[in-house]
Structure 1
């Protein structure tokens, strides 16, 4: 019966696309407009975001094609046959460490933002611990459940995000977008780099593609999943420039949250709209942290399956907490984010693409 098809352990194209969109739309969306505004002039940042989106979709498509070779073997098992078990174990461990850092950054970022906007008197250590415990509880369950949560959480996030943009039209000044095309190529390149950093996370497809009913649909799922945050990033950036102006946007720490505070709801029947926006956004960051934690656990478990999933969750959770609390100030948190971004581009994106090219040279074929 069709109504029970979600009881199986296979994911469809829609689920994977929603998962890619959810893991990408995390903390980065809250700060991206400011980072782009700091490296570009006027409203030219949209060029950087569009270029970064095109690059990310292309890289995601290539990685998804590589996922078609993994079949049901998984990343470690396939590469153990391709480049030997020790080399495959080294790559898999590096990716697991990268996702540990990724999860730690998400936990620390949500703790910092929650303290600033919601829990002013609560120590950031307790906020991070509470959030991490909820994430660990989710990861201790089934992987299919984490994927399917995205189908529940992503629609409300899209609706609230769209509402923020629509309700900001009343204070939007189109003249603040002018002049056009005044940024040099160095500024656009820097903005593109920052935008690409906000789009990483789609590399999780390496460990979720083996759950798909139709592996050949992975490239389409990744392309659709990445298109959602790219379009939203573009609209959010342009609206932020039109509302705050580009010079002011450079000084706002979390432009997306501040935009929600400025949104004018007709009739003024709902105050503090940013609280609703932030509460909904926590769901997305929860999904991002849960999937990155899950990928880390699955990567390590694929190499040492006798350890058991629960033991990995219990063992990794303190490591994530210690890493997330290591930065002492926002500047150090930013440096951690840069480290994760560069690590993701090299370890989790460049290395799999090189492995894919090598596999093609060896004559490997994708799943049907």
Structure 2
């Protein structure tokens, strides 16, 4: 079952988008944004980023609804020609491969730092990819059904974590609001917007929706949920640790979780439970990007889907192992962020303009 004939509901599309966006950003967003903003106004940057992401979602849905039942891999050659379409498609596929490798490596780095310090990182990544292959090989519908199972579990756990951290939040750490004006807020728009990367998944998912006319509604809800969660996480982390301290921590969200005390539950090392749930969120995002890359190669070269799933294993592994250390992982994240701007903004807008011009020309003819 390669998923090509499966249809998903708007609700399932929303869940898929949420679980694609929520991932590594849970533990990295506070530090990355604090480095750029350097004030407690990160949550304001997040609001602007959410608005930008909604606009991007509008352009993506408008583009894909012009080619109902077709993914971007299928309609890009129609818009820009066979060879230019091939270049664009390979560019998009390369992006999904890089994101998959980055997510696998980030997961392995966190596990090595907090749980599996003596386990070779190569072994962790290989197991992670192997489990991903087991899911991805089945196609889009089984993947989405799995995400539906994980979705409520992840939401409940995140709210539970935030609820326990309320006692550690000092509102003075979130003041003053706009104390240094709007410039820090503007500086934080790029990193916070990139934390919401994942809307590009609708370039493929809309083709498999039962009611594609509801794609924009599904995208809006799918963006709002992670945006709301990220704002709460940033407020909790900054309010508990201060901006200056967050800038010095590699994984500030996990440090916040470590500070949580649950004497009434007789539990210690609550961060172990958090990391297990966080691995699930990164895994769901990982399998979606893995699937998009495999499907892209299948549709571009018009070959069977499953061989490409297996064929991508070494490429994802090499991308995951390319960074030499944790600093290299963060540099790879910056590179992927610039990549994401092209995939989610420039290409959809360019394609939509070309589609509009061609439609006007055809109408005139």
Match of 1:150 among 128, 147, 150: 147
| 1:310 positional shift | 1.7
* Aligned match of 1:221: 218
| CA distance in structure 2 between the aligned counterparts of 1:218 and 1:14, rounded to whole angstroms | 10
1:269-288 deviations in Å (ceiling 9; x for gaps): 32222111111111111110
Match of 1:254 in 2: 251
TM-score for both structures, normalised by structure 1: 0.93
In structure 1, what is the equivalent of residue 320 of structure 2?
Answer: 324
Partner of 1:49: 46
Task: Give the 5 Å matches for 1:181-330.
Answer: 181-265=178-262, 267-306=264-303, 308-330=304-326
1:63 shift after superposition: 0.7
Q: In 2, are the aligned partners of 1:65 and 1:218 still within 8 Å (CA)?
A: no
Task: Identify which range, 28-37 or 91-100, moves more after superposition.
Answer: 28-37
**Normalised TM-score (structure 2):** 0.94
The equivalent of 1:12 in structure 2 is 9
**Aligned ranges 1:63-142 → 2 under 5 Å:** 63-142=60-139
Residue 188 of structure 2 aligns to a residue whose secondary structure is: helix
8 Å Cα contact 1:44/1:183 also seen in 2: no
Do the aligned residues in 2 keep the contact of 1:41 with 1:183 (CA within 8 Å)? Answer: no
Provide structure 2 residue ranges, at least 5 long, that are not aligned to the other structure. 361-365
Given that 1:92 and 1:299 are in contact with CA atoms closer than 8 Å, whether structure 2 keeps it comes out as yes
**Cα pair 1:18 1:154 within 8 Å, conserved:** yes
Residues paired across the two proteins, number = 356
Asked if 1:345 corresponds to 2:334, the answer is no
User: Are the equivalent residues in 2 in contact too, given 1:67–1:218 (CA < 8 A)?
Assistant: no
- Deviation of the 1:190 alpha carbon: 2.3
Q: CA RMSD in A?
A: 1.6
Moved more, 257-266 or 349-358: 257-266
Deviation at 1:98, TM superposition (A): 0.7
Structure 1 segments unaligned to the other structure (5+ residues): 1-7
Alpha-carbon distance in structure 2 between the residues aligned to 1:171 and 1:80: 54
Between 1:251-260 and 1:16-25, the stretch displaced more is 251-260
Q: Distance in 2 between matches of 1:9 and 1:327?
A: 37
Q: Does residue 354 of the first structure (1) align with residue 350 of the second (2)?
A: yes
